[in-house]
Amino acid sequence: MPECWWYAKYGYCSVGEECLYRHPKERRIECPDYARGFCKNARNPALRHQKPTKPPPLPPNAN
């Protein structure tokens, strides 16, 4: 079965489970909010949540 082009590019598919194409989890794009340290969709992410290799940056006035 071919991959869903929309899912591979945007990380979600509006058709969902009824889509005729494959939705490979490893092809999802990375979530920019999660990469910054917090994502409001952490329990049901549409985008890939990959653990960061380093801690998120500190806020500008963190002294």
**Any residues with CB less than 8 A from the CB of 17 and at least 6 apart, and which?**
none
Position 59 in a domain: no
Position 55 in a domain: no
Position 42 in a domain: yes
Position 60 in a domain: no
Domain span at residue 25? 1-50
Q: What is the mean pLDDT of residues 11-18?
A: 81
Position 62 in a domain: no
Name which residue leads in pLDDT, 5 or 51: 5
- Residue among 16, 26, 20 nearest 2 (CA): 20
The number of folded domains in the chain is: 1
Q: What is the pLDDT of residue 21?
A: 92
Position 56 in a domain: no
Q: What is the pLDDT of residue 13?
A: 83
Q: What is the mean pLDDT of residues 4-10?
A: 80
Q: What is the pLDDT of residue 20?
A: 93
Q: pLDDT tens for residues 20-59?
A: 998 877 666 777 777 777 787 767 666 767 776 777 677 7
